[in-house]
Structure 1
Amino acid sequence: MVSTTEHDESEHGERVGAALAHALDEAARGLIDRTDDEGVDHTLGLIVQGAIRTIPHVEQAGVSLVERGGTVDAYAPSSPAVRELDELQNEFREGPCRDSIWTESRTLVEDMAGAQERWPRYASAALTRGFRSLLSFQLFAAHGSAGALNLYSSSPGAFDESSVDAGALFAAQAALALHGAKRIQGLTAALDSRDTIGQAKGVLVERFGVGPEQAFSMLVDSSQKTNIKLAEVATRVVDEARRKNGRGDPGGR
């Protein structure tokens, strides 16, 4: 026989679980539905807002992404303090967010006061800014890209099992949404580059009386000699033609 107390606790747990599942479903749908025609920065903002709204006990949040050269940059931080902590990780070369990106799928700091031996400077900086607990999830670490979702609380021991479970599920959905947004952005950039290269070829064909293939070879040769990306060389050719023509059409038509 199940006691009334046990029954009530079980019923309460089911309600909490159902509410959490619904919240995560809504957050995931929001991320996926609203990233088709928006940029990566917009997607990152949705991830941070959704994390604060969905994951229990989260007060502040941000996303760390590794840029070229290994620099960890802050994206869509919910407060200036969150941005500062991300930036300090680059300066200190230490911190739980960096660990989540490179070595661990999840990092939980129950109390920053007890983390000063592992990350002495970072932990002190976090305490100074009023953060006692941190929960960080790796978003992805493949194909030369890496990132982490970082969650903060001003209370020690704030993140319980519900926070960890919800955070892991949310981070998985966020990683998919972010990957999709980055892919769309890359495809858009590729299409834009192709159009620009086509315009630049037209400029060279008209200017030097060469064929399309030779015009393309000229662009590639210039790119190699100057160590500038082909798309940027093409952009410069098109922009120069527009300035000379004094019109929006690089061909002067």
Structure 2
Amino acid sequence: MAVAATKGFVRMTGETELLTIAQELAEVSRLVEDDDVTGALGRFAERVLRTVPGCAAATVTVTGARAEQPEVLAACATPGAAAPTRDMLTGDGPLVEALRYREPRRVDDTRTDQRWPGFSARLAEQGYRSVLVLPVPTRRRGGSAVLTVFSDEPHRFDETVHDVVLLLTVHAGVVFDNAQLFHDSRALVDQLKVALETRQTIGQAQGLLMRHFGCDAQGGFGLLKGASQNTNTKLRDVAETLVSAHEQETFESALAKFRLDATAGAATS
């Protein structure tokens, strides 16, 4: 029955169907607002579940702190099926080997396969009979990733289905890298924004000190540094407090808090 279903899928997947799948994969590869790696891969795993014939569950996992304990970034399953969890996938097994060696692995029947008895037994208990694991081509730093599909039928993932999943792994790599790039870029933008805001605040505080103590720019910055060192307070926090105090007309109190008195001002002249 599995073979017939696969052949039916092949007949169905003509030029038009392949174009539709390609368009949908391109769409799911795009990032939505505030998307991150986990969110993007979650949407992708759901698409895999709907695309691969006989697929009852799909996961995207990456190398964890220890090779035998992969981190599950995305997991989904058909209604009534248990989504594979980290506990089901850890230890010696095809998934860990695929992550370690970046090579495909396949289990045709979890009830009879003897290569990874512990792994097979855990999946068989959850009703999964066949598994296909393919490395995801990604530029992920410091580790590897794999796409895994599960079926409740034995011998479900033949060569034809293997090729379909192989196509999906390429898009999984695109999703992974795009999401990671997006996340890194957003983080960099946020850091730059904070740096610019901090620089502006420090400049304002420096100007206030220059005017109050009648010193030049170098002297004003020296006062800020001295206040930071004297009170073990970050330079940014000192500047923010001084600017806020000036706005609230409590500038003199803030100067006293940071030990910025006439003596300190005279030292910068």
**Structure 2 gap ranges (5+):** 1-6, 210-219, 248-269
Partner of 1:103: 101
Partner of 1:82: 83
Alpha-carbon separation, structure 2, partners of 1:241 and 1:127: 61
Partner of 2:121: 124
Partner of 1:3: none
- Report the alpha carbon displacement of residue 107 of structure 1 after superposing the two structures with TM: 1.5
Partner of 1:5: none
Secondary structure of the 2:136 match is: strand
Is the CA contact (8 Å cut-off) linking 1:64 and 1:75 kept in structure 2?
A: yes
1:28 paired to 2:50? no
Is the CA contact (8 Å cut-off) linking 1:133 and 1:158 kept in structure 2?
A: yes
1:138-149 to structure 2, matched below 5 A, reads 138-140=135-137, 142=139, 143-149=141-147
- Report the alpha carbon displacement of residue 64 of structure 1 after superposing the two structures with TM: 0.5
1:191/1:57 Cα in 2 relative to 1: closer, same or farther (>3 Å)?
same
Which structure has the greater CA radius of gyration? 2
Alpha-carbon separation, structure 1, partners of 2:138 and 2:168: 17
Is the CA contact (8 Å cut-off) linking 1:36 and 1:181 kept in structure 2?
A: no
Is the CA contact (8 Å cut-off) linking 2:136 and 2:144 kept in structure 1?
A: yes
- Report the alpha carbon displacement of residue 189 of structure 1 after superposing the two structures with TM: 0.6
- TM norm structure 2: 0.66
1:141/1:170 Cα in 2 relative to 1: closer, same or farther (>3 Å)?
closer
1:36/1:192 Cα in 2 relative to 1: closer, same or farther (>3 Å)?
same
Matched residue type, 1:121: G
Secondary structure of the 1:210 match is: helix
Is the CA contact (8 Å cut-off) linking 1:28 and 1:174 kept in structure 2?
A: no
1:40 paired to 2:33? no
1:210 paired to 2:221? yes
Is the CA contact (8 Å cut-off) linking 2:30 and 2:175 kept in structure 1?
A: no
Alpha-carbon separation, structure 1, partners of 2:62 and 2:41: 10
Q: In angstroms, what is the RMSD of aligned CA positions?
A: 3.6
Matched residue type, 1:185: H
Task: State the number of aligned residues.
Answer: 214
1:134/1:23 Cα in 2 relative to 1: closer, same or farther (>3 Å)?
farther
- Report the alpha carbon displacement of residue 127 of structure 1 after superposing the two structures with TM: 0.9
Is the CA contact (8 Å cut-off) linking 1:31 and 1:174 kept in structure 2?
A: no
- Report the alpha carbon displacement of residue 193 of structure 1 after superposing the two structures with TM: 1.5
Alpha-carbon separation, structure 1, partners of 2:120 and 2:71: 18
1:126-165 to structure 2, matched below 5 A, reads 126-140=123-137, 142=139, 143-165=141-163
**Structure 1 gap ranges (5+):** 1-9, 223-233
Is the CA contact (8 Å cut-off) linking 2:106 and 2:131 kept in structure 1?
A: yes
- Report the alpha carbon displacement of residue 118 of structure 1 after superposing the two structures with TM: 2.3
Alpha-carbon separation, structure 2, partners of 1:195 and 1:66: 32
- Report the alpha carbon displacement of residue 161 of structure 1 after superposing the two structures with TM: 2.4
Alpha-carbon separation, structure 2, partners of 1:25 and 1:135: 21
Matched residue type, 2:127: G
